[in-house]
């Protein structure tokens, strides 16, 4: 097993699921997917725009930029506090956020679980089959879902192959010895696409491997870390635009940015804390490339928030597209909102309190 030292903690279950309409089970293009329930988030119900930002009376931004007064119950009322664009964006900086999980599709769930547990040292946190919807979910990672960034795999009955496309990059895993990890993966029949060695232009020892479905994993040699599953790399067409969006709408911090003119690309690391202790989003811009094929394999990232209503307003103010209006899910009442960034990458925000209730 890979030499990874995750944070010690007991594993608790979650209610997160991923359901697809018929087109998604057939492995059609990403645009044809109409998820019914995605990563514990039902996408069918909408919530009136008059939902309150908080428990006390406040004002809500409308589409025309004006404000309307709302009370805790959602009824119109006069209020002394105005939710201006400046207030909403300032609130984003103070919101308690963290990356919860990343969702993607695989063609053989048991094969993938075996590779992740035996070669990458992950733990199978839970697995459940939903035969009436013809899919199975599995959650894997290096610690419990209430404190770690984890992977949610989805297998749709009868679909054994997906198109990863050119937009998705890789996942990053911190290990204590890259060379030993690569030897283990080779012994298990895994595919190594980049042998261990220093990263170009730096000293960090890395290697690249592929899982059975072709998803790439970058192995980074680091000391003990509470978050071994440490990166999700996505390609974007305008890096500065994306950085501004994730800073303002998502409240992420630009941890570092590095230009590599020799290889004609620039990367930016963004997240909710330092890279050695938190999972981060790595955005890559390749010189002159403004559009990519997203395929139909990668789905989304889920992020925790204290208020999905304010989150949705901030996303709208920053030019993002809301694909699921904020509000509670029927049946379990977990409040969520879903959005697309300027490049079309999907994210779902989940209410922190509701998420912990589900885990209990």
Active-site positions? 218
- Lookup result for tokens 């379990």: 332
Cβ atoms of 46 and 325 closer than 8 Å:
yes
* Residue spans of alpha helices (H) in 39-167: 85-94, 109-118
Which residues contact residue 31 at a Cβ distance below 8 angstroms, ignoring those fewer than 6 apart?
none
Q: Which long-range contacts (CB under 8 A, 24 or more apart) does 23-32 make?
A: 24/156, 24/296, 25/134, 25/135, 25/156, 25/157, 25/158, 25/159, 26/159, 27/156, 27/159, 27/161, 27/162, 27/163, 27/296, 28/296, 29/296, 30/165, 30/294, 30/295, 30/296, 32/296
How many helices (H) and strands (E) would you count in the chain?
Answer: 7, 20
Which residues contact residue 110 at a Cβ distance below 8 angstroms, ignoring those fewer than 6 apart?
none
Cβ atoms of 269 and 250 closer than 8 Å:
no
Q: Which of 35, 39, 291, 298 is nearest to 163 (CA)?
A: 298
d(CA 120, CA 1): 7
* Residue spans of alpha helices (H) in the chain: 22-25, 85-94, 109-118, 178-187, 239-248, 308-317, 352-359
d(CA 268, CA 233): 10
């Amino acid at each position: 097993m890979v030499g990874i030292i995750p944070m010690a903690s007991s594993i608790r279950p979650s209610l997160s699921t991923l359901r697809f309409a018929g087109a998604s089970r057939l492995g059609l293009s990403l645009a044809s997917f109409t998820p019914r329930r995605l990563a514990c988030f039902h996408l069918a119900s909408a919530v009136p725009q008059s939902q309150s930002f908080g428990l006390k009376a406040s004002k809500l931004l409308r589409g025309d930029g004006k404000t309307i007064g709302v009370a805790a119950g959602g009824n119109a009322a006069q209020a002394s506090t105005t939710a201006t664009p400046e207030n909403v964006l300032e609130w984003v900086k103070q919101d308690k956020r963290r990356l919860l999980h990343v969702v993607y599709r695989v063609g053989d769930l048991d094969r993938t679980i075996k590779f992740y547990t035996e070669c990458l040292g992950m733990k199978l946190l839970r697995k459940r089959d939903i035969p009436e919807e013809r899919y199975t979910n599995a959650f894997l990672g290096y610690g419990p879902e209430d404190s770690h960034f984890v992977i949610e795999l989805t297998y749709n009955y009868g679909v054994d192959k997906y198109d990863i496309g050119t937009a998705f990059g890789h996942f990053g895993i911190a290990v204590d010895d890259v060379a030993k990890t690569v030897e283990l993966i080779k012994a298990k029949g895994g595919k190594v696409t980049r042998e261990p060695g220093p990263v170009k232009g730096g000293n960090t020892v890395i290697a690249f491997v592929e899982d059975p479905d072709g998803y790439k994993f970058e192995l980074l040699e680091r000391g003990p870390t509470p978050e071994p599953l440490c990166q999700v790399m996505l390609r974007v067409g305008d890096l500065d635009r994306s950085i501004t969006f994730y800073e303002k709408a998502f409240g992420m911090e630009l941890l570092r940015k590095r230009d590599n003119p020799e290889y004609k690309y620039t990367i930016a690391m963004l997240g909710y804390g330092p890279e050695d202790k938190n999972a981060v989003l790595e955005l890559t811009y390749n010189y002159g490339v403004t559009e990519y094929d997203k395929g139909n394999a990668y789905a989304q990232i889920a992020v925790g928030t204290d208020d999905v209503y304010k989150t949705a307003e901030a996303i709208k103010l920053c030019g993002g597209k809301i694909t699921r209006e904020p509000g509670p899910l029927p049946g379990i009442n977990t409040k969520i909102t879903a959005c697309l960034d300027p490049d079309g990458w999907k994210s779902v925000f989940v209410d922190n309190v509701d998420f912990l209730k589900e885990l209990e």
